Amino acid sequence: MTEVAVLDPQERFLDFLKSEKYRKRISQMAVSGKASVVVDFDDLLLADSPLADSLVKAPDEYLEYASRAALAQLQIEAPVYASEVEAVNVRFRGLPETTRLRKLGSAHIGKFAMVEGIVVRATPVQPMVTRAAFKCKRCGNVNYIDQPPTPFLRAPIVCSDPSCQRKGIFDFLQEESSFVDSQELRIQERPEDLPPGQLPRQLNIKLVGRDIVDVARPGDHVAIVGAVRAVTRTLPKVGKLRVFQIHLDANYIDVLTKEPEAVLASPEEEKQIVELSKDPWIHRKVIRSIAPSIYGYEHIKEAVMYLLFGGVAKQLADIHIRGELNTLLIGDPGTAKSALLQYVARIAPRGLYTSGRGTTAAGLTAAVIRERGGGMTLEAGALVLADKGIACIDEIDKMRPEDRVAIHEAMEQHTVSVAKGGIVATLNARTAVLAAANPALGRYEPYRTIAENISLPVTILSRFDLIFVLKDVPEKELDTKMSEHILNIHRRGAAPTEAPIPADILRKYISFARNIKPVLTEEALQRIKDFYLIMRAASETEGSPIAITPRQLEALVRLSEARARVACRKEILAEDAEAAIAIMKRSLEEVGIDVTSGKMDIDIIMTGKPKSVRDKLQIVLSAIVEMERETGMVEKSALMERLEREYELALPDAERFLGQLIKEGTIYSPRNGYLKKT
């Protein structure tokens, strides 16, 4: 140990880099044309822990030693390439301890630290001068100045020529100066690391070097190792401020996997997960483990289970088929919608909760922000940050229509496209959406269609795989059990029933299961096909509504895949297909029934109008066109009389259909009491 202490730090780094692993990495630099080598910090810790400790405490000094040692080793391994390289950057990956963003403070200034977060903003890559050349205007001598790590260019004070030595005017020579690529990132705390009621903290990261710029984009989950710096602003005529701002000069940036599968389980937990998956009642156990404090709603919790586990995405040569499920809950006030959404955001390996009232299109997708320097940068929104996770949007009906349009693309194509302020970009938003909405009239009216009950456009309704209605209907037996359940929670201060699977194990179980890619067996495929064809056959007769579309067929496959994943199976069995069909039927029965005819009609979701209403609208329109040929303009009273006499259409219904056609712009009123087709 005494010999190690006596050795020069550069020699100690050289000894470490002479190991076979790093000799190989350094020799590979010449092949790849890189000027940096990545060192695993754990290796340095094992080889020379005092040196590793010194590096953490004084990174500026010891990184210089490491850089010189790496260059010396490169001269041995590849002398020709070493003569072309001015310096070798040593990048240290993975410190033993991660510092949380909100814990980063004055104690860390000037030291090495590793932080984790989500990239919310990234500036374009810009060249930064490292060694500036200045020409003296008086004598023509060229002065070279190494630039300090400040944002301002430093010029020479006096000319370096002994015969001149004047404070003369200097011209910056761009051609003879040395440049390096630089970029700034802003990272934010991950939603799962956020203490309750706290705003997420942010940290600016400065990247310098061709090998670490442009590797992370908004929405990426990153681990960054770097030296902590503190700088303060200088105010004119006043001086420097006492309060400093912290940022990180990055030494290494690691883009962690964005998959929720990144939630790692220990070998013991993995064994427990495998044992759980073998339980024949695993589906029942998972359903009972989802929000145990919320009473009832078995079918809703089953749908949430499928949403958490998700289906398998398919990337074909020409199209992308999404695997994530989208679910909408429409419910009367006080039916625990918000509580369920917040629970899902917490239990999902990557979940975000937002409410429609305080959400804008830019907040959901991506905002284009003007930088201080005048450039424009992208800042990721909720759907981008929830990539490969679940976005829970409460009170989706309260969002402004112009903001709600932003969800369309993310729900079907799983991307967010931005074309603002000179930035044209497409970001990934492969997120499952769990949304909740209140009925337009306060309570859900069973004698009105879903489109009339909720103030959401059909363009969004049709993108949900499952839609459920939570009705608050007085029922003595159910009310007794629910009141006992709620009062027991208040008395005990805990859920009355213990969850069969603890929340932390359930989260890891979901992550583990999402790695499995189940495939359809012949029996399961046949069951889904038979159900689809039976439902379509019911629509073949003249005048029958369409009961199901290919969109629901794809949803059935996703549901079957999710159910197979819950049991950690690689094959989708017939029972998975049956369960998927059952929950799809339940959803269609709740919202896809034509209240006039009592038949299942998918057009209620797809177009907002059941077939019975469309038929009557067609009758009204045909009568207007017919009368228009005779009289030019149609007298409203004569039309109403004809509709009642010939088509047996009640006056209130006729009035309602006319109002709907005027609202849609199909007909208009040229003057009071008269109608005309547009």
Q: Does one domain contain both 277 and 245?
A: no
Note whether residue 605 is domain-resident.
Answer: no
Q: Does one domain contain both 249 and 317?
A: no
CATH number, domain containing residue 324: 3.40.50.300
Bridge partners of 367?
379
| The predicted structure's pLDDT at residue 341 | 84
First vs last C-alpha separation in the chain: 93
| The predicted structure's pLDDT at residue 258 | 47
Mean pLDDT taken over the chain? 77
CATH number, domain containing residue 67: 3.30.1640.10
Give residue 261's pLDDT band: very low, low, confident or very high (50, 70, 90): very low
Distances (CA, A) of 572 to 524, 541, 564: 6, 33, 5
Q: Does one domain contain both 282 and 431?
A: yes
* pLDDT > 70? residue 598: no
Q: Which domain holds residue 34?
A: 2-92
Final residue of a domain: which of 473, 491, 509? 491
Give pLDDT tens digits for 311-339.
888 777 777 777 788 888 887 777 777 78
| The predicted structure's pLDDT at residue 3 | 44
Lowest mean pLDDT among 355-369, 471-485, 601-615: 601-615
Q: Which residue from 439, 467, 513, 221 is spatially nearest to 325, judged by alpha carbons?
A: 467
Distance of CA 73 to the CA centre of its chain: 43
- Asked whether the beta carbons of 299 and 307 are under 8 A apart, the reply is no
Q: Does one domain contain both 451 and 371?
A: yes
Question: How many percent of the chain have pLDDT more than 90?
Answer: 0
- Asked whether the beta carbons of 219 and 428 are under 8 A apart, the reply is yes
Lowest mean pLDDT among 57-66, 303-312, 630-639: 630-639
Give residue 192's pLDDT band: very low, low, confident or very high (50, 70, 90): low
Give residue 594's pLDDT band: very low, low, confident or very high (50, 70, 90): very low
| The predicted structure's pLDDT at residue 596 | 45
User: Cα(406)–Cα(468) distance, rounded to whole angstroms?
Assistant: 23
Q: Does one domain contain both 459 and 404?
A: yes
| The predicted structure's pLDDT at residue 74 | 84
Note whether residue 552 is domain-resident.
Answer: no
CATH number, domain containing residue 230: 2.40.50.140
Q: Which residue from 261, 259, 113 is spatially nearest to 187, judged by alpha carbons?
A: 113
Give residue 614's pLDDT band: very low, low, confident or very high (50, 70, 90): low
In eight-state DSSP terms, residue 191 is: G
Q: Does one domain contain both 474 and 438?
A: yes
User: Cα(395)–Cα(381) distance, rounded to whole angstroms?
Assistant: 18
* pLDDT > 80? residue 538: no
606-636 burial: b if 16+ Cβ within 10 Å, else e = bbbbbbbbeebbebbeebbeebbeeeeebeb
Q: Does one domain contain both 181 and 154?
A: yes
User: Cα(508)–Cα(356) distance, rounded to whole angstroms?
Assistant: 30
- The encoded tokens of residue 162 equal 């002994």
Q: Which residue from 128, 19, 139 is spatially nearest to 70, judged by alpha carbons?
A: 19
User: Cα(514)–Cα(391) distance, rounded to whole angstroms?
Assistant: 17
Note whether residue 472 is domain-resident.
Answer: yes
Final residue of a domain: which of 57, 92, 127? 92
Bridge partners of 436?
329
By the 10 Å C-beta count (0-12 exposed, 13-18 middle, 19+ buried), 524 is classed as buried
Block residue for tokens 């997420």: 200
| The predicted structure's pLDDT at residue 543 | 46
In eight-state DSSP terms, residue 545 is: P
| The predicted structure's pLDDT at residue 495 | 65
Note whether residue 315 is domain-resident.
Answer: yes
Note whether residue 524 is domain-resident.
Answer: no
Q: Does one domain contain both 375 and 487?
A: yes
Name which residue leads in pLDDT, 314 or 229.
229
Q: Which residue from 352, 349, 360 is spatially nearest to 386, judged by alpha carbons?
A: 352
| The predicted structure's pLDDT at residue 117 | 87
Number of domains in the chain: 4
| The predicted structure's pLDDT at residue 648 | 66
Q: Does one domain contain both 359 and 485?
A: yes
Q: Which residue from 377, 375, 383, 323 is spatially nearest to 352, judged by alpha carbons?
A: 383
Give residue 612's pLDDT band: very low, low, confident or very high (50, 70, 90): low
CATH number, domain containing residue 634: 1.10.10.10
Name which residue leads in pLDDT, 53 or 444.
53
* pLDDT > 60? residue 647: yes
Bridge partners of 207?
183
Note whether residue 502 is domain-resident.
Answer: no
- The encoded tokens of residue 669 equal 């009123």
Note whether residue 283 is domain-resident.
Answer: yes
Note whether residue 588 is domain-resident.
Answer: no
* pLDDT > 50? residue 4: no
Final residue of a domain: which of 491, 515, 548? 491
Q: How many CB atoms lie within 10 A of CB 459?
A: 15
| The predicted structure's pLDDT at residue 496 | 61
Q: Does one domain contain both 66 and 211?
A: no
Lowest mean pLDDT among 516-525, 574-583, 587-596, 612-621: 587-596
Give residue 307's pLDDT band: very low, low, confident or very high (50, 70, 90): confident
Name which residue leads in pLDDT, 92 or 590.
92
* pLDDT > 50? residue 500: yes
165-197 burial: b if 16+ Cβ within 10 Å, else e = eeeeebeeeeeebeeebbbbbbbbbbbeeeeee
Give residue 260's pLDDT band: very low, low, confident or very high (50, 70, 90): very low
* Element containing residue 128 per DSSP (H, E): strand 126-136
Q: Does one domain contain both 153 and 240?
A: yes
pTM for the predicted model, two decimal places: 0.65
Q: Which residue from 427, 358, 344 is spatially nearest to 391, judged by alpha carbons?
A: 344
Q: Does one domain contain both 182 and 285?
A: no
Lowest mean pLDDT among 389-393, 465-469, 495-499: 495-499
Q: Which residue from 634, 617, 644 is spatially nearest to 674, judged by alpha carbons?
A: 634
